[in-house]
Homo-oligomer: A and B are copies of this chain.
Amino acid sequence: MRIGELSRRSGLSIDTIRFYEKRGLLDETHLRRSENRYRDYSESTVERLALIKATQAAGFTLAEIVELFRQWESNQLTDERIALYLQKKCDEIAVKIAELQAVQRYLEAKLLGVRAQSETVARQSD
């Protein structure tokens, strides 16, 4: 498929897709060139981009994602080191989740306060 269709199907802009390519996030598996030099993507690329988005949403930088993929795909060399790497990232994510939940609790508490206050005001204005 060409870049326009991939853009529509992935929800990423054409520019972003080309940018990811420059950063090394797409290889021959996902990207060929047709006769006319147009990019020609495989079906699996949609999924690839979704994974990139999710991983990015998890707080990884593009450079980290490249590294993650690189380690992952060279798994002739797969061993305990990759397990350790993933474990480390899982732990980092756990920390981020905890931070988010802390702010969430903070906001929820404030929210209750605001609601209580506005009810009081409402009652007073009765």
Contacts and interface: CB of A to CB of B under 8 A. Distances in A.
Contacts of A107: 86, 89-90, 93
A35 interface: no
Contacts of A93: 100, 103-104, 107
Given A57-B99, A96-B57, A97-B100, A80 B118 contact: yes
A47 to B, nearest CB: 12
Copies of the polypeptide in the assembly: 2
A93 B102 CA distance: 10
A117 B96 CA distance: 29
Nearest to A103: B58
Size category of the binding interface on chain A: 20 to 34
Contact of A59 (B87, B100, B102, B111): B100
Interface in A83-114: 83, 86-87, 89-90, 93-94, 96-97, 99-104, 106-108, 110-111, 114
